[in-house]
Each structure stands twice: as structure tokens, then as C-alpha cells.
Structure 1
Amino acid sequence: MTESSTGRALQIDGLDVYYGRVHALRELSIHVDEGEIVALLGNNGAGKTTTLASVSGVVPARSGRIQAFGTDVTTAKPWEIVGAGVVHVPEGRRIFSRLTIHENLQLGGYLVKDEKVVDQRIEEVYERLPRLAERRTQQGGTLSGGEQQMLAVGRALVAGPRLLMLDEPSMGLAPLIVAQIMDLVQRINESGTSVLLVEQNARAALRIAHRAYVVENGEITLEGPAKELAADSRVIDAYLGA
């Protein structure tokens, strides 16, 4: 991995990704500045999840370049990318249902060599999310959908992310819980963590994001400040309704 520019949490340039013969991402270019929340909007199959999977090193790029905090991670292994400070909360939460909340959180620190640091981060998660603290010995699979999403985010925080990538954190949740999740994301960002937010709930995402991109068929079709996109008739018609 080679060093490059700084000031950017994430820089993606000309990314092409294929699934067999399917051209999933087409010269996609986006960036996240340090301290930003950037939303990536689009319909199912547009390429949002593929973008995060490519950054995480799970799906290889055919061409293009990915940089995280000035370091080229285009061909890095997933654990190297986590080590560089980029942590991905996947769609569907993917917590370990038979493990307790505390055990799930401990797994978030699997790359952290200092156990005291892991313990300190877990306590910080409990302070931030007291509902998890109250249930720390409860199996993850017995939690509500919203609590499982909070656990998935908490587990990611134990890894010590500088850039947190969230894939559909509001999926399947009641509006009140969605508001709580978005508030959590905003508070995480205010504490110094950059965020790339993939979200079908465009209204909720644009409410907290600084900037946003719209992806269609693997290509960026719109980009700009979140407030401007929220007022853009094309975004309103496609994603926000009347």
C-alpha cells in the first residue's frame, strides 16, 4: 500500500466492478472528506452495496483506485483495510445471534492487540448505548431489530473506525427507531468519525448528511450538498415522493 494525498477519508476514482459479465460499477468516483457524513442513495441493485464491498476488499475492482486516508487500498486485504481505520457495518446487521451482546462487542476488537483498549471501547459503547449495557449478558438473537442494529454499530465502534461505512442501517425498522439510529450516526460523526451512509430512506439520510451522491446502474448520476439534493425535483420524484 502506497501513501498519497491527505484530508480525505475516502477517495474512489474510476472504479469498475464486475460480477461475471455483469458490469456492476461503471467508472464510479466519489469521495468522503474527513469529518463528513456522505450519503449514497439509489434503488435496489444500483451499486450501493457493491461500492462498500469494494472499499472493504470483499469484491475486487477490475480497474480504478481506492484510497483510505491517503493510502492506496485498492488491492488490500479486508483485515488490512480495517487496520487502516475503515470499518463496514453490512446490510442485515450480521450479529452473532447465539453470542451475548458483550461477546459480540468483544469480536469487534479482534484486530486490536491491547485488551485494555478493547475494554475501554466497549465501555464507551455502553455509555453511548445504555440499552446494550442493560442487556450485556443477553444473546444477540433475542434483541429487537433496532437493538440488533445498534449492536452491529457498537461492534464496529470497538474496532476504532476513522471511517464508518453503514449499509442500510434503517432497513425494516419503525420510524421512531430509524430516527434513533440516524441520531446515533450523527453523534458518532460529531465525535470525529467520518461516515459513508448507504441508505434507501433518502429522506432520513439527507437530513443528517453533509453531501450525497445518487447512483443508478453503477454510475453516479447526481451529487452535491445534501440540502440541495433534498430540494432537487429529480431526487424528490425518484426517492422522496411529493
Structure 2
Amino acid sequence: MLELTDLDVRYGAVRALRGLSLTVAEGEIVALLGNNGAGKSTALAAISGLVRPSAGRIVLDGREVTGASPPAMVAAGVVHVPEGRRIFSTLTVRENLQLGGYLVRDGAELERRIARVYDLLPRLAERRDQQGGTLSGGEQQMLAIGRGLVAGPRLLMLDEPSMGLAPLIVTAVMDVIRDINAAGTTVLLVEQNAKAALRIAHRGHVLDQGAVTLHAPAAELAADPRVIEAYLGA
């Protein structure tokens, strides 16, 4: 579904991605692991069109989309749920979900998508008239994911969905991501909690200084002494 080839991204003199190459096949959960500053979030920003690569190619379904705009990528089925949730705190849960469907012109289809989110995340249905800023951290993360789902992604990119959440809530969020994937959505997951990510992923890529240094099936990465030492603990 997605192929990055020799991707470079620069922020001024800083080279954030250095020849990054990776693939995501339809139906997979692929985890991007690495320390802060490794280039994980920049990779998602480049794919979604938020930053323009200085070199390399991004190919989606066999068609080059390098440098495409964020709305064009959403229209192509690529949806980015950013780090930090970034919900609209003064709007209700329902209003946040409606904004996720800003490209959906059919009102009945938008309502069907919101109803599917409520089925998947019943806590959001219970809170539908509550302001987003009054939700718990875990509920806000669910809302951010739900808003992304309303856009109708074929590829859902999630940036640090477990950040700041208690361990039990992290487990619940990861279970939701696995359910989303089981229902047919491909997932590219950026996550510092390597243990949680590898529990649900099919494959993983370890990034360091903007390039892939290790990639393998998730179970192999979870058992790799280098990954254990760097990300999983002894």
C-alpha cells in the first residue's frame, strides 16, 4: 500500500530523515520505534503532506504522492492522528467527530461513520454532548482516534497514542487499534512504548537518526537483544 524510498527531510540545517526506506502492506499494523529525535513523527508528517521531502519518493497504491497536500492525502485515504491528541477542547465530542468528516459531502454517510465510531468506542457515545476538554486523557485519545476514523481512512497513521496514559488505559487504546485493523484498516503506528506496540504490530522498523537501522516481524524484534536493551528493558 505504501512505500517510502530514500526519503530525506530537512528542517533548515537539520537533516531529520536520512534516506528513509520502508513499506507498509495492506492489512498490516506496522510499528515505527525509536528514541526521541529519531525521525518517527517526521516520517508521518512527510507522508501526510505536512512537510515536503527534500529527496526521495512516497508511493501510495503504486502512484507517487511525494509532496501532495494534506487534503489530497486525506482524500486518498491516508489519515494522520497527531501526537498530543489536538482535539478541539471547547467543542463537544460529536462536534469533534463531525470535523473529522470535513471532506464528507453526504450528510447521511457522515452520520453512519459517526455511528460506527460510537459502536467501536461506546464511551464517546456516552459523552457525545460533553466538551472535549473535560474528558479524561484516555477518552481524549479515543476521541482523537475516532475523529480520524470518521475521515474513512484506508491507512491510519497514529503518532504516540499511548503518551501520558496509565498502563491500563494504554492496553485499552492498543486493543482499539487492533480492532480497527481487524475491521480492515491498515495502521502505521509511531510509539515509544515499544512493548505495547510490538504486542499488536505485525512488523516493526527501528529508526535512529532518520534512517531504519533494524526491521523484522514484531515477534522477532520483541526477542532481539538490541531492542530489549534499548527499548524494552532487561
TM-score by length of 2: 0.99
Question: Who is 1:238 aligned against?
Answer: 230
Partner of residue 105 from structure 1, selected from 97, 117, 139 = 97
Question: Who is 1:114 aligned against?
Answer: 106
SS at match of 1:25: strand
Partner of residue 32 from structure 2, selected from 30, 40, 45 = 40
Question: What is the number of equivalent residue pairs in this alignment?
Answer: 234
User: Where has structure 1 moved over 4 Å in runs of 4 or more?
Assistant: none
Q: Distance in 1 between matches of 2:102 and 2:63?
A: 22
**Unmatched runs of 5 consecutive residues or more in structure 1:** 1-7
Question: Who is 2:216 aligned against?
Answer: 224
Q: Distance in 2 between matches of 1:140 and 1:207?
A: 29
Question: Who is 1:158 aligned against?
Answer: 150
Question: Who is 2:174 aligned against?
Answer: 182
Deviations 1:33-89 (A, max 9, x none): 000000000000110000000001001100100012222110211100000000000
| % identical equivalent positions | 69
**Unmatched runs of 5 consecutive residues or more in structure 2:** none
Question: Who is 1:65 aligned against?
Answer: 57
When the two chains are superposed, the root-mean-square deviation of aligned CA atoms in Å is 0.5
Superposition pairs of residues 1-242 of structure 1, within 5 angstroms: 8=1, 10-242=2-234
The aligned amino acid for 1:176 is L
Q: Distance in 1 between matches of 2:22 and 2:4?
A: 5
Q: Distance in 1 between matches of 2:185 and 2:109?
A: 17
SS at match of 2:143: helix
Contact 1:16/1:25 (<8 A) preserved? yes
- Cα offset for 1:96? 0.2
Contact 1:47/1:215 (<8 A) preserved? yes
TM-score by length of 1: 0.96
